[in-house]
Chain A
């Protein structure tokens, strides 16, 4: 799993509609994106654990597990918390792109 794979999965979440009628796949999309980012960073030899990314990933992992209840596809329960998820996802995406840019510059 590369950083490019992870970015594609993050984009899939960011590009998703948040309407109840189309939101069932969102929880899996979020879990898929976070897992991909985690695996990609584990494989990146230059990645430093001292960055903020592990904390962002931990928050997103918790969100994927708890924010959206698997018993209901999508409801107001997590609509409010979704804004925080999006902020963390955009931050993660930006950091991953920086890593790719740094690798290309070397």
Chain B
């Protein structure tokens, strides 16, 4: 049996990656994957310079499966194994039998707390770029949750954000939210983001609050 299972997911797995996309690789095993292992399983894949491995133990993955983790749902829908036959995988049956997600209310409360932190930090000389990146991440996570509540399993930023914003009456902000997420990617890689201002951060904080509140109200 393979000691570590490696699975490809995200935009490269979907074939929708851009030059800024991460190469998302999940590794599941009882030891952390070595650099050599990651080099081997990612060989020949696009976006290797942005390799973003996530590693979990089997116990952790089984715990996530018990509450219907949206991350595992994401994998169920688009991941493909890199170093194991699906028929012999230990992960594949967990994904197949995944129950409905159970932590929607907890997530909404967490998004709200994180936005309160942003407000506090902005009022205490916080870094505008960092806070905008935090807002962008919350919007991305909340969009995925919103799509799930709408009965849509949509995990790409480019699709989940417009769908979720549209569903809660904020469609006019969807393209701005996507631009903000593009900025988050650039910020995390140290690119300049010349357009960021305190006023912009305040504006997006207000929009994100509306978005989280309305997403929480979706049935």
Interface assignment of A90: CB less than 8 Å from any CB of chain B: no
Q: Contacting A24 at CB < 8 Å: which of B54, B57, B113, B126?
A: B113
Closest to B55 in A: A77
Q: Contacting B130 at CB < 8 Å: which of A35, A69, A70?
A: A35
C-alpha gap A77/B134 in the complex (Å): 21
| Interchain CB contact under 8 A, B69 and A31 | no
| Interchain CB contact under 8 A, A77 and B56 | yes
CB within 8 Å of B: which of A60-90? 69-73, 75-77
| Interchain CB contact under 8 A, A25 and B117 | yes
Interface assignment of A36: CB less than 8 Å from any CB of chain B: yes
Interface assignment of A1: CB less than 8 Å from any CB of chain B: yes
Interface assignment of A29: CB less than 8 Å from any CB of chain B: yes
C-alpha gap A70/B74 in the complex (Å): 13
CB within 8 Å of A: which of B57-94? 57, 59-60, 63-64, 69, 71, 74
| Contact segment of B40-48, B103-111, B163-171, B175-183 | B103-111
Interface contacts (Cβ under 8 Å), in number, total: 69
| Interchain CB contact under 8 A, A12 and B110 | no
Given the known interface contacts A23-B110, A28-B117, A36-B127, the answer about A76 and B69 at a Cβ–Cβ threshold of 8 Å is no
CB within 8 Å of A: which of B115-162? 117-118, 121, 124-127, 130, 134, 137, 141
Closest to B144 in A: A71
CB within 8 Å of B: which of A1-51? 1-2, 5, 8-9, 12, 20-25, 28-29, 31-32, 35-36, 39
Taking the nearest CB of chain A, how far is it from the CB of B43, in angstroms?
Answer: 22
| Interchain CB contact under 8 A, A22 and B71 | no
Given the known interface contacts A24-B111, A28-B114, the answer about A1 and B54 at a Cβ–Cβ threshold of 8 Å is no
C-alpha gap A36/B110 in the complex (Å): 22
Taking the nearest CB of chain A, how far is it from the CB of B6, in angstroms?
Answer: 16
C-alpha gap A23/B56 in the complex (Å): 18
Q: Size class of A's contact patch?
A: 20 to 34
| Interchain CB contact under 8 A, A25 and B114 | yes
Chain A residues contacting B56 (CB-CB under 8 Å) are 69, 77
Q: Contacting A76 at CB < 8 Å: which of B59, B113, B130?
A: B59
Given the known interface contacts A1-B125, A75-B64, A76-B63, the answer about A21 and B130 at a Cβ–Cβ threshold of 8 Å is no
Binding site for B on A (CB under 8 A): 1-2, 5, 8-9, 12, 20-25, 28-29, 31-32, 35-36, 39, 69-73, 75-77
Binding site for A on B (CB under 8 A): 54, 56-57, 59-60, 63-64, 69, 71, 74, 106-107, 109-111, 113-114, 117-118, 121, 124-127, 130, 134, 137, 141
